[in-house]
Amino acid sequence: MPPPADIVKVAIEWPGAYPKLMEIDQKKPLSAIIKEVCDGWSLPNHEYYALQHADSSNFYITEKNRNEIKNGTILRLTKSPAQNAQQLHERIQSSSMDAKLEALKDLASLSRDVTFAQEFINLDGISLLTQMVESGTERYQKLQKIMKPCFGDMLSFTLTAFVELMDHGIVSWDTFSVAFIKKIASFVNKSAIDISILQRSLAILESMVLNSHDLYQKVAQEITIGQLIPHLQGSDQEIQTYTIAVINALFLKAPDDRRQEMANILAQKQLRSIILTHVIRAQRAINNEMAHQLYVLQVLTFNLLEDRMMTKMDPQDQAQRDIIFELRRIAFDAESEPNNSSGSMEKRKSMYTRDYKKLGFINHVNPAMDFTQTPPGMLALDNMLYFAKHHQDAYIRIVLENSSREDKHECPFGRSSIELTKMLCEILKVGELPSETCNDFHPMFFTHDRSFEEFFCICIQLLNKTWKEMRATSEDFNKVMQVVKEQVMRALTTKPSSLDQFKSKLQNLSYTEILKIRQSERMNQEDFQSRPILELKEKIQPEILELIKQQRLNRLVEGTCFRKLNARRRQDKFWYCRLSPNHKVLHYGDLEESPQGEVPHDSLQDKLPVADIKAVVTGKDCPHMKEKGALKQNKEVLELAFSILYDSNCQLNFIAPDKHETCNESNILQMEYYRHLCESIRR
C-alpha cells in the first residue's frame, strides 16, 4: 500500500552524528517536526534550530516552501535563521581580522537565502554593511600593504553579501547615503582594484541606477564614461559585461533631453570602436549575457532616432524646406536662380515641380507634405540628405537614371526612401524598449558611427536594383517593398560582421534568387499536399506521432539548463531540469555555472513526480508573470514563460531561451517539449 500523500521520507544530517532516516508528516507544524528531530539527538531549545537543504543551495525550510520537500530529500539540522543572523551580526564586528573575514565569507553565502536575509535585515544588517564599506575600509588603510589579500577578500565578501541581500527586494535602494555611493564609485574609478571588488561595485551601481531615480542622478555625478572605458579595454569579459550594463543603465534612465548628450559623449570617447576591438573582435566567444548587453546598447542607440522618426515636417519651416532644396541642387546641379520677376517666379515654380517629380516625391508642388506622416517623419529626409552628401555619385546615378526613363518603370526615389526608412525602423524596432531576454545584436552596427544611415544607403541601392530586376511600375510598389524586406531580413539572419559583408550578402539575394527560394518553399508545401502524400501521411501518422513523442522524451531526458533572472538580469545563476530515464520524475536543481553537456541525475537534489503535475500553463497565466516586476511587462518574455503546477500553490517556473536564437533550435522548442510531454504523460 503506498504511503499517504502527506508523508515524505527524508534523511536528516547533524554534524558529528549519523544521519537519521525519518518520515515527515506535512500536516504537522514545522516547529513540531524540528522538536522531534532535536529530541532524537537530545538537543535542548529546539526553537534555536531549523532545517535546511543539504545541497549547495543551503536554503532554509519554511512553512511556505516545505511542500518542495520530496521523498529522498537530504536535509540538515542547523541553527535557526534568527540565531545565525544574530551571531553573524556580532561576528562581522569582531576585532579579530581572521574572525571577521570568516564571518563575512559565511554571510556572503547565507545571504542568498531569503529567510536568512529577512532576519539579518531585521537586525539593521544592511546599515552595518554600508557603514563598514563607508568607514570600515578606512580603518584598514594602514594595514593594506602588509595584508592586502585579506583586505581585498574582506571587502569582496562584504560587497557580495550586500548584493545578495539587496537582490531579495526587501530594502528600498532609496535609503543609501551619498557617502556610500561615493565609496562604491571610488572602487570603480580606481585604476588597480581587485577583480571581484570591481565586479560587485559595478553590479551595485547598475542596480542603483535601475531601481532609483534619485540614485541615478547621484551615480551619474560620480561616474563618467571616461572612467568606465578602461574596464572595457581589459581582457576579463565579465568585467566588460558589467561595465556595458552600467553604461546601458545610465543610458536607459537618462532624461530624454540628456540621452542625445550622453550619446555624443559615448561617440567622443570612441565607445563603439573600443567595444568592436576589445569585445566583438576579441579572440574569444561572446557569452549570452554579453550578447544581451550589446543588444541593449544597440536598441538604446537606435532609439535615439525615435524623436526624428515621430517628428512631422513643418511645410512652413524654411530650414526644413532648405533640405529638400539641397536634395534637388545635388541631383540636378541647378544654375543660378532667375530674376525675381513675376514671369521668372512662375518659371521657377514649374521647374521645381518638374524636378520634384523626377526626385520621386508624391506631392510635386509641395514635397514637404510627403514627410508629414509618422513614422518615419523627418528621419526619412535625414536619411535622404545623408545619402545625397556621403554617397553622392550613387545618389545622382539613381535619381538621373530614373528621371530619364519614359517607359513607366522609373523607381520613385522620394517615395521609396520614405517607405524604406519606415520599414527599417520596423525591422530594428526603433522606439521599443529592449527585451529582457533577447541577445540579438548585430556586429555590423558597431562598425560605423552612422550605422543606421549607412544601413539605409545600402538598402536604398538594393531597392533600386530590385526594382529594375522586377521591371516594376508604380503599381508594383508594395510588391517591391515586400521583396526588399525579405532580402534584408534574410541577410540580417546571417549576422554579417561588417556593412560590406551585409552588402555582399544582399548581392547574392537577387530577385531571381528570392524567386528560387520562394519556388522551392512552395514546391515543398505543394508536395506535401498532393494526394499520394496525404494518403501516406494518414497511414504512417501514428508511427510518426510516436516517433515525435520519443524524440521529445529523449530531449527531456537529456535535460536543459535554464538561467535565473533577477532584478538586475544577472545570468550568472543557473538551474537544470531533466526527465528520469523511466519518464516518471523530473529532476531539477541549482548549478554554480553553465554545464558542459548533460548533468547527472544524482547531482540534482530536487524531484517532481510527473504524476503530481496538475497543469502546465504559459504566458500571462504563469505565476511568475503575475508578480510585480519588469519581466511581466515584456511581451516577448510572456511568450517564453511557462510553469508546471503541482500540489497546492506549488510550481516550477521557467523562462525558455530566446525564441530568435537560431544557433540552437532545440532550445527554442524547449517550452513546447515540456508542455506536450507533461500533458501526454498525465493523460
pLDDT at 320: 93
Neighbouring residues of 157: CB distance < 8 A, sequence distance ≥ 6: 101, 104, 105, 107, 108
Q: How would you label 335-367 residue by residue, b for 16+ Cβ within 10 Å and e otherwise? A: eeeeeeeeeeeeeeeebbbebbbbbbbebbeeb
Listed residue (650, 558, 654, 561) closest to 608, CA to CA = 650
Question: Which residues lie closer than 8 Å to 98 by C-beta, 6 or more apart?
Answer: none
Rounded Cα distance, 504 and 667, in Å: 30
> Cell digits for 288?
549570452
Cα gap 424→420, rounded to integer Å:
6
Q: What is the 3-state secondary structure (H, E, C) of 487-537?
A: HHHHHHCCCCCCHHHHHHHHHCCCHHHHHHHHHHHHHHHHHHHCHHHHHHH
pLDDT of residue 334: 47
* Stretches in the chain below the pLDDT threshold 70: 1-3, 136-150, 334-343, 406-407, 526-528, 565-572, 627-636, 648, 657-683
- Which strand (E) or helix (H) includes residue 563? strand 560-563
Q: What is the pLDDT of residue 150?
A: 67
Gyration radius of the chain's alpha carbons: 32
**Max Cα-Cα span within the chain:** 113
Cell matching residue 515? 524567386
Nearest to 61 by CA among 13, 115, 25: 115
pLDDT tens profile 82-129: 999 999 999 999 988 889 999 999 999 999 999 999 999 999 999 999
pLDDT at 140: 47
Residue 639 C-alpha cell reads as: 511568450
Laid out side by side, the sheet with 574-579 consists of 560-563, 574-579, 585-591, 606-609
Single pTM value for the model = 0.79
pLDDT of residue 39: 94
Residue 650's DSSP bridge partners are 646
The DSSP symbol for 46 reads: G
Cell 510572456 identifies what position? 638
* Angle formed at CA 159 by CA 131 and CA 624, multiple of 5 degrees: 115
- For residue 641, the SS3 value is strand
547-679 fold? PH-domain like (2.30.29)
Interatomic CA distance for residues 604 and 588, integer angstroms: 5
Predicted local confidence at residue 245, as pLDDT: 97
Report pLDDT for 561: 84
What are the phi and psi torsion angles at 606 (to 5°)? Answer: -95, 145
pLDDT of residue 293: 97
Strand order of the β-sheet with 74-79 is: 20-25, 7-13, 74-79, 49-53
Least Cα distance to 156 among 125, 198, 192 occurs for: 198
How many Cβ atoms from other residues are within 10 Å of residue 511's Cβ?
Answer: 19
At the topology level, CATH places domain 91-111+145-305 in Leucine-rich Repeat Variant (1.25.10)
The pLDDT value recorded for residue 2 is: 53
Alpha-carbon distance 428 to 379, whole Å?
Answer: 14
Give the CATH number of domain 5-78.
3.10.20.90
Query: Can you give the residue ranges of every domain in the chain?
Result: 5-78, 91-111+145-305, 316-333+342-519, 547-679
Q: Are 110 and 91 in contact (CB under 8 A)?
A: no
> Would you state the pLDDT for residue 677?
54
Angle, helix 451-469 to helix 413-427, in steps of 10 degrees: 120
Predicted pLDDT of residue 610? 87
pLDDT at 479: 97
Cα distances from 200 to residues 290, 376, 429, 555, 673, in angstroms, run 16, 42, 32, 37, 37
Q: What is the residue whose three cell numbers read 572612467?
A: 227
Total residues belonging to the chain: 683
Check: CB of residue 478 under 8 Å from CB of residue 439: no
Whole-number Cα distances in Å, 676 to 615, 623, 671: 11, 19, 9
**Rounded to the nearest 5°, which phi and psi values hold at 144?**
-60, -40
What confidence score (pLDDT) does residue 628 get?
47
